Structure 1
Amino acid sequence: MESQFKANIDGTQVMGSRSDDVKVANRRSIRSSDFLLRIVVLVTTLVAAIVMGVAKETRVIPVALGPIVTPMFVAVPAKSHYSSALVFFTVANAIACAYATISLVILIANRTATIGLSLYLTILDLMVMALLFSGNGAASAVGILADKGNSHVGWNKICNVYGKFCHQTTASVIISLIGSVFFLLLIILSIFNLHRRSR
């Protein structure tokens, strides 16, 4: 019984036979999607780490020494490495970027990825995605405090003073969140691919 493969527009192949037609996922389209998603993750996490790493602003702020003394004007810088949460965010994005680069090299070197290699990469993808989302959460929490402050514990908002710094931090978090979502899509695609290959 002879069968024929015909490619469809949606990236599937139709295996024709006399009894029925069976759709088989096109492995090339899945692999190209995997590469594309990893490249997007690499670029977004690299940009997020760089933007956060260079985020800084110096403002001249009046400092009151007492109720009677005239306030002094002091140049006070705001830098991302002053906050441990923002440092964690930057390191998480750098790790995700390095991992995306290494996984791309591994996939290029092993064009015919085995189920075992795909499973290991999917597990590592999950771990790096969790690290990335936790870094995003930490940076977002600090960003909300910087924008709104917290009157209950006496923390003043600083985004009304350090506007440029807060805008850079916000842009970095948004870019990193985009990378995290693409990481999630990559994991969903990998799980779907593993499930298809194990049947």
Structure 2
Amino acid sequence: MKSTSGDSTTINIPESRNKTVAKGETPYVRIQAAHPMHDQKGGWKKGISIFDFILRLGATAAALGAAIAMGSSEQTLPFFTQFFQFQASYDDLPTFTFFVIGMGIVGAYLVLSLPFSIVTIVRPHAVAPRLLLLIFDTLALTLNTSCAASAAAIVYLSHNGNSDANWLAICQQFGDFCQQSSGAVVSAFVAVVIFVILILMSASALRKV
């Protein structure tokens, strides 16, 4: 723009170029500042995913170990004749049968969930695999808890009996059977604790997305 007053002429230089440079620098600064924060969050989520994978391996061992231990629990009391024997086996009790089937399902699910856990390690910011694991972990936790709780009640009765219902404590005679079934129940509760940790970790990771 030019303005004339008498013999003097004033020329105003536009500042559009300076404003353009300033506008060009602002996104560059923001991009540079955003990358470290993005990498920091990605590293935190990747650490959770790695820990998730390790815990799943432990839960798989606990669940399958519980199913195998209960499924192989059997004891026969020695007597003089083979036609008169007392035998205790897991399939004599429907609760223990349910325990073996249920923990087998939980263990199979944990094996199938390992590839999805690996996906969350490779892609820490992926929401779909974490959400899928959170939903199915909750369902598996429900089944696992029901199996462990019902079997724990039978194990308690086997050790202590119930005088009101006239149920005898069979663990005085079938010691090996009770010891093996008790170990299976403890292993199942270990899997329950790991599932709770997995669910809390997945929920925390989704909340930070």
Instruction: Indicate conservation of the 8 Å contact 1:60/1:74, yes or no.
Output: no
| Corresponding residue number in structure 2 for 1:37 | 55
* Aligned twin of 1:112: 123
> Structure 2: where are the runs of 5+ without partners?
1-28
- The alignment's C-alpha RMSD in Å is 2.3
Match of 2:24 in 1: none
Compute the TM-score of the two structures, normalised by the length of structure 1: 0.79
Who is 1:70 aligned against?
A: none
Q: 127, 140, 151: which is aligned to 2:152? A: 140
Q: Which residue of the partner structure matches residue 4 of structure 2?
A: none
Instruction: Flag the structure with higher helix content.
Output: 2
**1-structure distance, mates of 2:186, 2:117:** 28
Is the alpha carbon distance of 1:109 and 1:31 closer, same or farther for their aligned partners in structure 2, counting shifts above 3 Å? closer
| 1:141-196 residue CA offsets vs partner (Å, 9 max, x unmatched) | 00111111111121111000000100001111111111110111000000001111
Cα deviation for residue 24 of structure 1 reads: 7.2
SS at match of 2:178: helix
Q: 2:20 maps to what in 1? A: none
TM-score (ref. length: structure 2): 0.76
Name the count of aligned residue pairs.
173
State whether residues 133 and 177 of structure 1, in contact with CA within 8 Å, keep that contact through their aligned partners in structure 2. Answer: yes
Separation in structure 2 between the aligned mates of residue 153 and residue 60 of structure 1, nearest angstrom:
28
Unaligned runs of 5+ in 1: 7-11, 14-22, 63-72
Percent identity over the alignment is: 29
Give every structure 1 segment of 4 or more consecutive aligned residues whose post-TM-superposition deviation is greater than 2 Å. 1-6, 105-114
Aligned positions of 1:1-199 closer than 5 A: 1=29, 2-3=32-33, 5=36, 13=40, 26-60=44-78, 74-108=84-118, 111-112=122-123, 114-197=126-209
